[in-house]
Amino acid sequence: MRVLILGGDGYLGWPTAIHFSAAGDEVWVADNFAKRQWELEEGIQPLRPVPTLHRRVARWRELTNNPIHLRVGDLTNHRFVYKLLEEARPDAIVHYAEQPSAPYSMQSRTTAVNTQVNNVAGTMNLLFGIQAICPDTHLVKLGTMGEYGTPNIDIEEGYLTVEHNGRTDTVLYPKLPGSFYHLSKVHDSNNIYFACRIWGLRATDLNQGVVYGIDTDQTVLDETLATSFHYDHVFGTVLNRFLVQASLDLPLTVYGKGGQTRGFLNIRDTLQCVELAARNPADRGEFRVFNQFTEQFSVRRLAEMVVAAGGRHGLDVKVDQIENPRVEREEHYYNARHSKLADLGLVPHLLTDAVLDDMLDTIVRHNAAVDTSTLMPSIRWAGGQVAAKA
């Protein structure tokens, strides 16, 4: 295939690019490096230094003799989008190129608006570009399980059949997003669904759970190929943060009661899922929705697992329940369906003791670089910095 990875500099975008390249596909990547700029503005950096995308692309070619075509530009610039699609003529587009943080989107009016413009307008430009230039291209869009929120009924894969006043219809599953970031993903889903219905485009919306992990089969080949690993309160995810705190003998910061339950998956399974979706494309006019995760955990359960992992490493890990900076249910029903990717052949890497131990080993080797000032949350959904930075 000819595969275009949008957001190819990111935590997931870069491993996806070299995963497809290793499989023999012709790979194009594009990025505007906005995430690196946001990190600079927030005073945040990943656990390990991440070489530039240009350097990683060059090193990958040195190691494998597989070229990756790199383009620099912004999806909110429709001229860049159209030119990119004219050049690449991709069979599949994997779209990661969005602001990925709920806390960042809730920090201020500026960051909320930037999130909406970057994510929604960028995707709209992409849809118009596909319709005009390569309407048979299959769009694989990374969404989020956070679009659904925490409803008091089972979460289906994208659609819900309802009966009302004696009539039945199937509609997109109702969405209860918890941040302006998650809301931008809801807008994306609606816009893509519309484009599939009206223009006959083909798309798969991957509602992804929380991703954890440090390396993939390709990133371990050379230190230059490393991807970013964030543990901070803005761009870091909960398991990554807990493991970094454990490595430093710091208490694990559980927000509120810790009953918040979500879907999780290993970074290696993100690559599996994206590849399965790309190699088994949607039909023309079809908007597919796959719930992309392998296991469900509460925050409290993750903390217990990290405490146990710390014990196996001789660390006396404690848990500290702190005030929740978010507006969310801390105890709730959560049962999300996720069978469609398994039906396509997904073989999950589950969160075993061995996986946790391996991650903790790696983090311990690099934890001298941790900036502990970025671990505690300072962005509050209901005020605080939101008002101060308007």
Q: Cite the active site residues.
A: 144, 181, 185
What phi and psi values does residue 295 have, to the nearest 5 degrees?
A: -145, 155
Strand 319-322 to strand 138-144: parallel, antiparallel, or no bridges (unpaired)? unpaired
Length of the chain: 390
Pairwise CA distance, residues 267 & 72, whole Å: 25
From the number of C-beta atoms within 10 Å of its C-beta (0-12, 13-18, 19+), residue 223 rates as exposed
* Residue linked to tokens 């089972």: 154
